[in-house]
Structure formats: C-alpha cells, structure tokens
Structure 1
Amino acid sequence: MWSLRLCSRGSRDLRLRITTVSHRASTTSAAQVGEVSDPGSTEVKPFSQIPGPKVLYNIPFLGTAFHFKPFTKYVPDDLLDVLSDARDKYGDIVKIRMGKDYIVYEHLRVGLDLSETFHDRSGVPRDLGTLQGDEWAALRKPSQEKMLRPAVVANYVPLIEKVTNDFVEELRKKGSVDNLLKELMNYTTESVAMLCFNRRLGTKLYKRFEKTYLDIYRIGRKEISAQRKMLEKLQKEGKLDQYLQDEPNFIYSLINDTRMTDDKINSVIMSLFIAGIDSTANTIAFVLINLALNPEKQDRLYQEIKETMGDENTLTKEHLAEMSYLKACVKESQRLVFPLMLGAIRYLEEDIVLAGYHIPKKTLVHPNMNSMTMDDRFYPRPTEYIPERWLRGTKDDIAKGQDFPFGMMPFGFGPRGCIGQRFAETEMYIGVAKVIQNFKISLPPGVTGVKTKHKTFTTPAESVFLNLTDRNISNV
C-alpha cells in the first residue's frame, strides 16, 4: 500500500497541536481538544511563559528571518518543518513571533492587515473571511439560511451532475490527463458558477479573465445586475414562480432578501467562488491520486458505485446518501493530505486559558490540523490511506479517530465554519464517483507518490499525469 503522505514535502510527522476553546468555558477538556497536559490543573501560567524561541527570535520582524536561510536550512515554503522543529523542542503549545506579533500558533496576521488595507483603499466590501463581529453576522446569517440546509444543496445535484458528465466526456476524448489539477480547476469553476451565478461560465469565458479579487468582484456585480434584470423580466411575464420551482437559484434567494444589498450579495458570491474553485479542485485531485495509488480501495469504491446505481447512469441525491465508502474515501484523503496548510485561524475576542496558559484577547490562535490528523494516538497507521477507518461498524483499533471528531475538521467548526461545506462535499462526491464509475485510474509506471506544496491550500507540487482506462459506461 502506497502512501501519498510519505512522498509529501518534508515527510516528518508534524506534532504542533494548538487548539481553540470556547470563550464561554473556563476549563478545557482533554477529550474535546486532544489536550495532553493535565486538564484538572488549577494553575494558570502567564502568556510570557508559553514556550518558544527566545532572544534574537523575539526581535520584531527581524526575528522572523532567523527561522530561515541562511540561518537555518529552511526557506519560507518549509514553514511546516519549522513548526515541527518547534514542537519537538518546546512541546505541544508554542509561541512564535512572526512579524510584529506573537502568535499561538500562526503567521497570518500580516495577511489580515493587508486584506484590511486592500478593502479600505479599493472600496471593495469585505467578505465572510475578513469581517468580524456584527458586520460578519449580518452577512453570514442570510447566507447560511440558504447554504447549510441539506435540502437546498440537494437541489443542485442534477446541475452538478450535468457539469460532471461534460467533464467526464472531455476526459474520455483525451484518453489521459496531462495536468490533473488544471482539468479539475475547469470542472470546479463550472460547478461553482452554477451556484454563484446560476449559469455555466464556459471554458472560453473562464480563460478570458484573470482570477484576481478585483476581476471577480467586477464579474460578480455584472452577474447580479444580469440576474436582477432577468428576474424582473420573468416577473412581468408571469413566469417567475414557475422558474423558481423548476430551478434552484441561490443568487435569487439573496437578491430577494431585504437584508442583503448588492454589495453584500457580491461579498458572499466572491467568498464562495474564490474558495470553492481551488480548495475543491485540490481535494478531488488528491482523492483521485490516493485511489490511483491504492487500487484495492479504488476497486471497492467502484463496486459500491455499481451496487448503488446498477444500470443507471444518472447520479441522484438518493444514490449519494447510500455511498458511505465514497464519503470515507474523500474524508480519508482530507486527513492524509489536509486541504489547508494548517487550519482555521481564530482571533480571540476574550482572554482564555489554553493548555494551562493565559492567552490574552486579540491573540491569533491556530490549530495545526496537519499535525493532529497525523497523530497516531488518534489515527493508528497515520501514513496509510485507509478509508475503512471512517466507516460505522469498523470495530478495529483503526477506527479510533471516530472518537475524536475535533481532530479532523477540514471545513472548520462552529459559527465560522465553511459556509459552502455542503455544496463542496456534494461536488466532491459527484466528481469522484463519476470519474471512478467511468474510468479505472492509475499513475504512470514507477510513480509511487506525488510531492505536495503548501500555499493557502495544499496542492500537488508538479503536474500530475493520470492514466484513464475506459469502463465503457455511457452517460447518455
């Protein structure tokens, strides 16, 4: 059994485990957050005593440089290895100065500052990822009412399947894939466009625009205006009610919400569109890579698809509900190759006690999920791709991770969890299922793994070539 993780950049297990706790709680449960210090201790140590690099490393801005070449063997892309060293040296909770701030742990404060400056100067409204407090709640609440209900997302299954069928036919014409991620980016762009803009963008349009924040903002405003005009026309013709019954329409539900201005709608659309392309494409890529590396798992998934769908070629929401192994394959790939470099950052609004240390408000706390998902205390044989560990009824010790739900949160958790989670999961399940239904996939002879690199999302370091053996399934 080959493991993708063993071939990733810096294959050492990452052990830094920093976790957030509820602001309302005065104590922290070891079972809840994987705490390894004594949760019953009443002694609270000051922030200044949190372990971490000292002296020169604590000089604002300049101290950050001492973590990298020429002072160490690392470059900035090796941040996860720097954190691994810090965990080995200082323990499970580490305070490191990055730029001007101390972070327990993460370095994204610079990114947040840059984001605020950008929005102030450009006049572009802030999105769900950068807003805080009441402003965030005012944008989040109307959006999640439409996005987080399973029944709403289930209505998009036929539309996503149509996009996926076109994607499969493109793969069939090519016979192989020279750049897996590039192909999947086109697929996820089309799928997310169905949600955000209520229409297909088309490859030509996708190629015409550069994916920068301002470009997408302008496209969003144009699409919202076009949707308003179309809906007004349908209303005048008396066809609006029938149209809304026949087609799921997320953007119209926002337009029709009196709490939402065009700028707010555009902020939601941009959040979903930008995050939904890269993250979903990379996740599907790694699922397919892991299945190609583990043909026995691929065969089991194919058998589940055959048994569930029979002679049918149309994948329905009812089919998806029955495919437990498909969901396990996706989840195990997310564990083995965590989608984000570390995890979701949290900006503390109140003082808290974490692992026995006082953490003041306005501190950035970051869970290193890459470390937690590779911890053999929770996930036995962590470097292996074993979807069975997520199946209900698995009695073996391999399923231990099911008892630690907070150890595996690719979409975050709580009020600030990913608003597009249900849509993204549906898109992943359909994409993977239709590819495996139609093709037996493999990597070139002699390829036993794929290197990864860490940007905002974990991504293949190089173009991935995928062999496709047609199973001769028609999608007509």
Structure 2
Amino acid sequence: MKANVVTSRYVLPAVLQNVYQRPSLRLYTSPATQASSSSVQAKPLSEIPGLSSLPIIGPLHHFLPVVYRAEDPNPLRPGFESMVNYKTKDNMTVADGVFGLTILQGAQWRQFRTKVNPALLKPKLVKLYAPALEGIAKDMVERLTKLSYDYLENNFDVEMTKFSLESIGLVGLGSRLGALGDDMTDDHPARKLMKCAKDILQLSFKLEVGLSPWRYISTPTYRKLMRTVDTQWEVSKVFIGEARKQITERGHDIPEEEKSIIEKLLAIDEKVAISMANEMLLAGIDTVAFATTNLLYRLGTNPKAQDKLREEILSGDNNRRYLRACLKEALRLNPVVSANLRHTAKDHYVAGYHIPKGVDVVAPNEYLSKLEKYYPQPTEFIPERWLVEKTHPLYYGNAHPMVTLPFGFGVRSCIGRRIAELEIELLVATLVKDYLIRWEGPPLKIVTRIMNKMEKPYNFRFDRIN
C-alpha cells in the first residue's frame, strides 16, 4: 500500500517517511472524534486526506493524535536502524547481548525498561543529586561568565555540551568527568564521550537518509559508526568500573533511598549499568544543551519574564513554579525533537479510516504547539499560560493534552526527565540570580535533523547585577 506523505520544511519528517522503507502516516483526529474498534465501512489508509487541504502541511490543522492513546502495551518507536543492525546482525561483542532502550522494541524493550525504572524514576532522585548538580551549575556559570563574547558567539554550544556532559556523567557514570576544565586534550575521556555522542547522532542520520547500502554491505560511514559505538562503550566501562570500586571500598551498605543511580544499576548487572550510562550520554548531552540554550535565549529576549523569574529565585521559593513554567514554555516553542513517532503494532480504526499494523504514525508536536487554535498568541513566550487559573483564556489546559509532548508520551516517555529538568533548572537559576541575560542580534535560527539544532552565532551577553 502506498504511503500518504505530507511534505514538510523540516528534515526530520522526511527521514521518518522514507528511511525505514515502510509506509508512513501523520495521523490526527479532532477532539470530538473517538477511535473505533469496528471495521464497518472503514476507509483504507490510501484514502486519508493528503496534500489537497493546504500546501505543505496538508490536513494537519484539522487533526490531533489518537492512535497514541490506544497503543500497544509495548509501543514500537522506530529509529537508529543502523545501530540495530550493528548490535544484532553484526554481533556487537562488547555489549554481550545487552542492548539499551534506544534500539530495543516490544517485549525486550519492556523487560529492560522494567529493570532500570526503579533506578531512574524515583522522585527522591532530585533531592539526592541536587547538591552535586548545583555545584556543577555554579562551576559552569563561573566559567561561562569569564569567557569572551567573541569565543561564545561560535562556541556557546560547545560550552553547553560540556555542562550537560559533566552533569549526566555525574549521574550515569558516578563521578565528575572534568569536562569544565581548560585542559581537555583530544584523548581526554570527557572529550571522547562528547565526540562519541555527537558522532553517533550525525552518522546515524547520514546512514538512514536516502539510499542505505549499509544494510547489505559494510560502508565506510557504517564502519565509523561501529567504531564510535565501541569507543563510547569502552570509555564508559572504565568509569563504571571505578564507580564499582568506590562502592566496594566503602565497605558498608546504605539505605536504598540514598543509593545512586549507578549503584542501583550495578546491583542489576554491570553490562546493564554500562548500557544505561551510554543511553544517558547519547540521549542526555545534546538534548540538555539544546533545552538550556533555548531557555536562556527566551529569557534573554523576554526581559519581563526574566525579571519575574529573578524575583522568584531571590525570594527563596524552592517550588520555583515560574522557573518550571518558563522551561515548559520554551520547550513548547522549540522542543528538542519536533515530532513524536510510533510504529503501529496492531490495526486501528480512527475517524472512519483503517490504519493497518506496520504504519509509522508521526505527531508533529512542534507545529501543533504553534497553532492559535490550541494556544492564544502561540508564537509568544508566555510562561504564565502554565500557571493561570482554568478560567483564564491563556490556560494551557484548553489545548488537547497530546499537542505538546516535549518528553514523549506514555511508557516510552523520557526516562531521564527528572534529572534533565533538574540540570537545566539549576543552571538557569544560578545564572539568573546574579546575571542579566541579554541577546544582542537577530532571532536565533533552528534547523531540524534527528533533533533540533541551533545555528551560530550565539549573541548572548551576561551582565553581573551586583
């Protein structure tokens, strides 16, 4: 069956439509429409409205996702096919059959997720890691405000990557990595991990766009990806081994709620710990760096919101509701990933159409989140929409709950959300407390590959307040 394709100005949807060589679909329905389990008079996939509605976007402005609500208990989310190929068909040996959440599917994914959930989803994790992560935030602010603006214009993304690596390294590998120092040579472990995370995303994107000869023969790009994956595993293994040594040398057990993520993962299996550490490095470095930069940009271009946030921080209010609202609003406008994707594991009957098993369903949440019908003044940065009463016209709850999903949906939502939010909030709070953030230049440009990416220059200015 021929897929019904909607053209997009973004690169990501094109990848999702073509690379996996199976039918793709952007599926939405109005809030009043319910998914039906009946196949009576259901129209086929090929008859779902396409480009005739509007140029470029097709019928997207009329629809909302429902298949996600009725998804399988083990939802399928395609992606990183080249890494799947390496770790399965090409017998990646270092992992010894232990694969992470990024590439696992179905029952295997659920089994692994069930193993690691207790280590990463406890609310008390925030309390456990906050002091150490706040220390990293303070070190980062001190470093950031000493660097020249000429340097930051072209390297702000590099500095944010160092910050996110240092933070996620503490959580996933059990120690500070030294990423914020000035002595990071090319063979420094932190430098290697930064390069691995970046190269894995870039190489995967390159391999999975367009022709895919690597599926049949080993190409140079494919072999480079394999070497990069192996390097990341080996470097992580060294840190995990050091963490295990420190735990052993401690000589006594501690209460479960005081155990670190790495200690809990090591209690399961060392390879599970290494695999999960690599997952956190792959998913947590560029994502946190992007989200942090995004929020700083929004504050730098919205001085009233920044002043209000500073008042909250200086008041000592530990709830920091306005800070969290600012982060939600920044991610509504520019999420790390512009769309969410599922691969249907069963047939669905939606709005009178039959959506068969084996179709990629794409929800372009970034696009939907900027529609007037869901959010008044949709392109404006208004954190208050996340705080006002339900009767207020700006109230975020007036939008369909599936419109804005920066951390995904359901059981396949981001497992590291609590830690990621904590890292971002601590850095922004530390910076805003003592510095005025300004943006001096044209609007920041963002392009989409697998993830959203900002284009240089970065026109930030940081002025000490007192």
For Structure 1 versus Structure 2, the TM-score category normalised by the shorter chain is 0.7 to 0.9
Indicate yes or no: 2:288 matched with 1:280: yes
Q: Kindly report the root-mean-square deviation, in angstroms, between the aligned alpha carbons of the 2 structures.
A: 3.1
In the alignment, what sits opposite 2:454? 460
In the alignment, what sits opposite 2:403? 407
Indicate yes or no: 2:359 matched with 1:376: no
CA distance in 1 between counterparts of 2:425 and 2:113 reads: 25
1:161 Cα offset (Å): 0.1
Partner amino acid, structure 2, of 1:300: K
Alignment equivalent of 1:180, drawn from 138, 142, 156? 156
CA distance in 2 between counterparts of 1:253 and 1:334 reads: 30
Contact 1:325-1:387 at 8 Å conserved across structures: yes
1:37 Cα offset (Å): 7.4
1:464 Cα offset (Å): 0.7
Alignment equivalent of 2:45, drawn from 41, 44, 47? 47
In the alignment, what sits opposite 1:98? none
CA distance in 2 between counterparts of 1:412 and 1:246 reads: 27
Partner amino acid, structure 1, of 2:246: M
1:341 Cα offset (Å): 2.8
Alignment equivalent of 2:108, drawn from 116, 130, 135? 135
Alignment equivalent of 2:134, drawn from 161, 166, 170? 161
Partner amino acid, structure 1, of 2:120: M
CA distance in 2 between counterparts of 1:138 and 1:40 reads: 29
- Compared CA separation, residues 90 and 278, structure 1 to 2 (3 A): closer
1:143 Cα offset (Å): 1.3
In the alignment, what sits opposite 1:430? 426
In the alignment, what sits opposite 1:66? none
1:272 Cα offset (Å): 1.3
Alignment equivalent of 1:442, drawn from 438, 444, 447? 438
SS at match of 2:124: helix
Indicate yes or no: 2:173 matched with 1:192: no
Task: Show the 5 A alignment for 1:64-463.
Answer: 85-88=55-58, 111-120=79-88, 121=90, 122-123=92-93, 124=95, 125-174=98-147, 176=149, 177-178=152-153, 179-203=155-179, 204=184, 205=188, 206-209=190-193, 210-211=195-196, 212-235=228-251, 240-241=252-253, 248-257=259-268, 261-308=269-316, 319=318, 322-343=319-340, 345-393=341-389, 395-401=391-397, 403-444=399-440, 447-463=441-457
- Compared CA separation, residues 128 and 208, structure 1 to 2 (3 A): closer
1:254 Cα offset (Å): 1.0
SS at match of 1:411: coil
Give unpaired runs (5+ residues) of structure 1: 1-8, 19-29, 55-82, 95-107, 310-318
SS at match of 1:366: strand
Contact 2:445-2:454 at 8 Å conserved across structures: yes
CA distance in 2 between counterparts of 1:267 and 1:392 reads: 42
TM-score normalised per structure 1: 0.73
1:38 Cα offset (Å): 4.5
- Compared CA separation, residues 90 and 427, structure 1 to 2 (3 A): closer
- Compared CA separation, residues 39 and 337, structure 1 to 2 (3 A): same
- Compared CA separation, residues 219 and 356, structure 1 to 2 (3 A): farther
In the alignment, what sits opposite 2:208? none
In the alignment, what sits opposite 1:315? none
Contact 1:380-1:400 at 8 Å conserved across structures: no
In the alignment, what sits opposite 1:470? 464
Identity %: 27
CA distance in 2 between counterparts of 1:337 and 1:458 reads: 8
* 1:329-374 C-alpha deviation (Å, 9 max, x unpaired): 110010111220322x212211112343211112211211112211
- Compared CA separation, residues 467 and 350, structure 1 to 2 (3 A): same
Partner amino acid, structure 1, of 2:465: R
TM-score normalised per structure 2: 0.75
CA distance in 2 between counterparts of 1:89 and 1:367 reads: 13
SS at match of 2:253: helix
CA distance in 2 between counterparts of 1:208 and 1:449 reads: 32
- Compared CA separation, residues 469 and 225, structure 1 to 2 (3 A): same
Give unpaired runs (5+ residues) of structure 2: 1-7, 18-26, 65-76, 197-227
Which stretch shifts more, 454-463 or 409-418? 454-463
* 1:403-437 C-alpha deviation (Å, 9 max, x unpaired): 53222111112111110011111111111111111
1:248 Cα offset (Å): 4.6
CA distance in 2 between counterparts of 1:441 and 1:216 reads: 35
- Compared CA separation, residues 165 and 245, structure 1 to 2 (3 A): farther
CA distance in 2 between counterparts of 1:140 and 1:387 reads: 33
1:90 Cα offset (Å): 8.2
